[in-house]
Amino acid sequence: MKFSKKDFKLFEKSVRKWCKLLAPEFNVRVVFKAHNGSKENIATCASNKQGGIATIYLNDKFVSNYKVNLDEIAFHETCHLLFARFSRESDPFLSITLIDEIEHEIIAKLENVLFKKEGK
């Protein structure tokens, strides 16, 4: 199975949904092409954490023998944005307080999605 433009539209819609819920601070572009020419990954997330921008790719060259859940793939790629601050801010002197703050930020976002908390 190779992805069609219709598949891409569904993927893009899912990415937008998950970004709105999980990573609203990112300006995300969704494209239908292989990231760096790779044929191996179904999808990829590349981000500039400091600039708050990201590109999520659905690989137009990927071929699969099985049906994939595009919403699940969109969720997976969007979740990478949740951890973007760790890679940007990680260093040997990173404070426990900051790690705790980031961890709780991620947990709160996941809780809001999974449990549909009111007022968030």
pLDDT in tens, 103-120: 678 878 887 887 775 554
Domain membership flag for residue 46 = yes
pLDDT, tens digit (0-9, with 9 covering 90-100), for 3-51: 999 999 999 999 999 999 999 999 999 999 988 877 778 999 988 877 7
Domain membership flag for residue 14 = yes
What is the model's pLDDT at position 119?
A: 52
Q: Which of 119, 31, 5, 15 is nearest to 70 (CA)?
A: 15
Tokens of residue 1, six digits:
């199975």
Domain membership flag for residue 120 = no
CATH code, domain carrying 66: 3.30.2010
What is the model's pLDDT at position 26?
A: 94
Q: Would strands 53-58 and 27-32 be described as parallel, antiparallel, or unpaired? A: parallel
Domain that holds residue 35: 5-115
| Number of domains within the chain | 1
Domain membership flag for residue 66 = yes
C-alpha 64/C-alpha 60 separation (Å) is 11
Q: Which of 60, 68, 57 is nearest to 12 (CA)?
A: 57
**pTM for this one?**
0.76
Residue with tokens 């940007």: 88
Measured in degrees and rounded to the nearest 5, phi and psi for residue 28 equal -110, 130
Over residues 45-68, mean pLDDT: 89
What is the model's pLDDT at position 120?
A: 47
Question: For residue 54, how many other CB atoms are within 10 A of its CB?
Answer: 23
Domain membership flag for residue 84 = yes
Over residues 69-73, mean pLDDT: 91
Q: Which residues are CB-contacts of 59 (< 8 A; sequence separation ≥ 6)? A: 3, 33, 34, 35, 38, 39, 41, 42, 43, 44
